[in-house]
Amino acid sequence: MPGRLQDKAALITGAGSGIGLESSILFAQEGANVLLVDVNLPAAEKVQKLIADRFPNVKSAAFKADVGKEEDVKAAVDKAVELFGRLDFNNAGIMHPADDNALNTEEKIWDLTHTINVKGVWWGCKYAILAMRNNPVDEAKGLHTGGSIINTASFVAIMGAATPQLAYTASKGAVLAMTRELAMVHAREGIRFNSICPGPLKTPLLMDFLNTPEKRDRRLVHLPMGRFGEAVEVAKGALFLASDDSSYMTGTDFKVDGGLTSAY
Ligand code: NAD
């Protein structure tokens, strides 16, 4: 049986760890050719080897790029188009961990966080749009075949975080706002944009931030399911948004958060 992403191509940023790693494996399992982009090339190469072993019918490659540099993002999209002929999916997702609040956050931390989290997403969208415009249009659906862009935001873009992470929170709010506008501007071109809002996950990004059992326990109290999420649970949400199963969805803030944003 063909997979849910059969013959599609996916460019996944942050593919060397966490959500990006799990999405890369899941997308390949569902038949997509995948370009695994990460600033940490050895991490992306490790994922590529795993995919090549498990899914020999899928094309995969690792690519070094810093999403905080426009020329790197363009080079990554060009590479995906060169390798796979077309590009169907772009997922930008990174975080600069910093203990920052309004009183003591440093401008350089603010700027770095926004360069990677906001400009990185903008550039990812920009070059993906240009590439997707070359995808054939499915006349029946009025959609560029496979034109789905997913931007990773966060639950902190919706809720106030009690742990100081102001620059990060502000950057994730920008991802939501930007994604909604892009969804409206490009809806008639058949390119869909959705944000995915993960709750707290058991990945290096959060576990390095909540680096003591006390800090983790304090956060766990607020989680309706009483546990941190797994990266693969977010990857499954991303798979839905990438596939044609979500063909009438654009501009959403898709929450995979164990109920956190509905909690009192
Ligand atoms: P992770 O730290 O496990 O993985 C992030 C990956 O991104 C790493 O492989 C890293 O090398 C790569 N990366 C970092 N900076 C980069 C850059 N400039 N260019 C290219 N690649 C870069 O993180 P994760 O938990 O999988 O997070 C992925 C996304 O999900 C992030 O945007 C994060 O803000 C968001 N998110 C995570 C959580 C959580 O609890 N983990 C919650 C909400 C949102």
What digits encode the pLDDT tens for the residues 156-192?
999 988 777 899 999 999 999 999 999 999 998 889 9
Mutation probe of ligand 1 site: the residue of 205, 220, 260 with most atoms within 8 A of C-beta = 205
- CB of 201 closer than 6 A to ligand 1? yes
How far, in Å, is the centroid of ligand 1 from the Cα of 50?
A: 20
pLDDT score for 85: 79
Which stretches of the chain score pLDDT less than 50?
A: none
CB-based contacts of 176, cutoff 8 Å, min separation 6: 153, 157, 158, 195, 197, 253
1 inside domain: no
* Three-state secondary-structure class, residue 57: coil
Distance of CA 51 to the CA centre of its chain: 19
- CA 238, 240, 241, 242: dihedral to nearest 10 degrees? 80
Q: Is the ipTM beyond the 0.95 threshold?
A: yes
How far, in Å, is the centroid of ligand 1 from the Cα of 238?
A: 14
Domain CATH number, residue 68: 3.40.50.720
Which structure tokens are listed for 112? Answer: 């770095």
Are the C-beta atoms of residues 46 and 38 closer than 8 Å to each other? no
Residue with tokens 């390095």: 208
Q: What are 193's strand-pairing partners?
A: 149
3 inside domain: no
Mutation probe of ligand 1 site: the residue of 94, 96, 196, 254 with most atoms within 8 A of C-beta = 94
How far, in Å, is the centroid of ligand 1 from the Cα of 14?
A: 6
- CB of 20 closer than 6 A to ligand 1? yes
Are the C-beta atoms of residues 9 and 87 closer than 8 Å to each other? yes
* Three-state secondary-structure class, residue 100: strand
Return the ligand 1 atom nearest residue 205 CA: 2
247 inside domain: yes
pLDDT score for 93: 58
Which structure tokens are listed for 18? Answer: 């966490």
How many independent structural domains does the chain possess?
1
pLDDT score for 101: 83
CA–CA distances in Å: residue 208 to residues 108, 182, 205, 211, 239: 21, 32, 6, 5, 26
Rounded to an integer, what distance in angstroms lies between the CA atom of residue 83 and that of residue 188? 28
- CB of 115 closer than 6 A to ligand 1? no
42 inside domain: yes
* 127 flagged as catalytic: no
pLDDT score for 174: 97
| Residue of minimum CA distance from atom 26 in ligand 1 | 18
pLDDT score for 33: 95
For residue 128, the enclosing domain spans 9-257
pLDDT score for 209: 82
Pairing of strands 148-152, 9-13: unpaired
68 inside domain: yes
| Residue of minimum CA distance from atom 13 in ligand 1 | 14
Q: Where are the alpha helices (DSSP H) in 55-147?
A: 70-84, 107-114, 120-132
pLDDT score for 51: 98
Rounded to an integer, what distance in angstroms lies between the CA atom of residue 154 and that of residue 195? 9
4 inside domain: no
pLDDT score for 143: 60
The amino acid at residue 39 is V
Backbone dihedral region for residue 178 (phi beyond 0: left; psi -120 to 50: alpha; all else: beta): alpha
Pick the closest to residue 12 from 241, 251, 255 (CA basis). Answer: 241
